[in-house]
Amino acid sequence: MQGARHVVCAVSGGVDSAVAALLLRRRGYQVTGVFMKNWDSLDEHGVCTADKDCEDAYRVCQILDIPFHQVSYVKEYWNDVFSDFLNEYEKGRTPNPDIVCNKHIKFSCFFNYAVDNLGADAVATGHYARTSLEDEEVFQQKHVKRPEGLFRNRFEIRNVVKLLQAADSFKDQTFFLSQVSQDALRRTLFPLGGLTKDFVKKIAAENRLHHVLQKKESMGICFVGKRNFENFILQYLQPRPGKFISIEDNKVLGTHKGWFLYTLGQRANIGGLREPWYVVEKDGVRGDVLVAPRTDHPALYRDLLRTGRVHWVAEEPPAALVRDKMMECHFRFRHQMALVRCVLQRGRVPGQWEDPAPGAIRLHTPEGQEQTRCDRGGLQHRPG
């Protein structure tokens, strides 16, 4: 009987998770709200709004007349998300903590808590995303331990669930869900997947959820808050002073506090210069950051990139890639970036690099297609 289905919904104190819980209630499910505290605001002098968010989430559950639970994953977040964030920056890469948080906290710690401690038949979040399963199919899923290994036999996983884009293409959040496990996706509902943000706000306004409707939308990295990002990072990583060098004539344009603070493609903000300069390369040995003028400078663009760690959402690896050693698909490396056509290839691209580690993937745009600018964010691919 559908009314007996127990769905544990993550409630953040925002409008999206509130409406997600409301819609689940309307479907006749037994709904429980859970607020996750992932960052210890006391360590940051109250900059994070976790306590206020928790109060708002509790009030949502009161209005909807559903049970409320609060869990703390501060330790897990520090070990699995924030430490990874610092390590990646120190190596000169720009991580995306939202992707890592979803993988390790929301769809691992919270997922296991909901299933093992609260007896959930399914979990739900306020993400704008969809899967290939209908609600009743989700409730029929059982825990399936995936086989170990980088490239597993794709025939060992039956009835895989696909991660699909939301109806609201602007709010689509599948980029942030791109590393969620198959097992978690099998038992997750996304009630907002078929709705637009404007319609979600309308539902909230009509159902006494004004206190979350009036809140500003959460943007940026929660543990940074409104503080200067460079100052925040340098509280945890040692400064490594270096120079900004023009890629055109090797002229020194200024100095910086650490090459790891900059992302390929971002504006360098060099003191004393009126015209904008953008990061092209970073020399971790010398500590220099190479920059170019103008956003259309050729040095800022690439038509070939290599990635090592690969997470296949539906199968491992796709049949076309196994058969042909390459496949056409679309990719993005930043949220809300337009999908770009590309060719995904295993093995060596002639004239480029050495042979990669097992399982490495090379990705390049087809001949004749406009090159893609390297910029902030991580990589996501989507089959075409």
Strands (E), 137-273: 163-164, 188-189, 242-246, 252-256
User: What does DSSP assign to residue 56?
Assistant: H
Residue 374 catalytic?
Answer: no
Please enumerate in sequence order all residues whose Cβ is within 8 A of that of 13, keeping only pairs 6 or more positions apart, or say none: 35, 52, 53, 54, 55, 56, 57, 60, 212, 215
On whether the CB atoms of residues 311 and 265 are closer than 8 A, the answer is no
Q: Which of 101, 109, 342, 374 is catalytic?
A: 101
Q: Which of 54, 222, 342, 374 is catalytic?
A: 222
Output the CA–CA distances (angstroms, integers) from residue 228 to 29, 168, 221, 359, in the order listed: 44, 32, 12, 38
* H or E segment to which residue 373 belongs: strand 372-373
Residue 54 catalytic?
Answer: no
How far apart CA 288 and CA 38 sit, in angstroms, is: 35
Of 332, 262, 247, 337, nearest to 297 by C-alpha is 247
Strand partners, 189: 124
Residue with tokens 């909901």: 114
Of 119, 122, 114, nearest to 187 by C-alpha is 122
Of 59, 105, 65, nearest to 81 by C-alpha is 105
Residue type, 105: I
Query: Which residues are designated catalytic?
Result: 101, 222
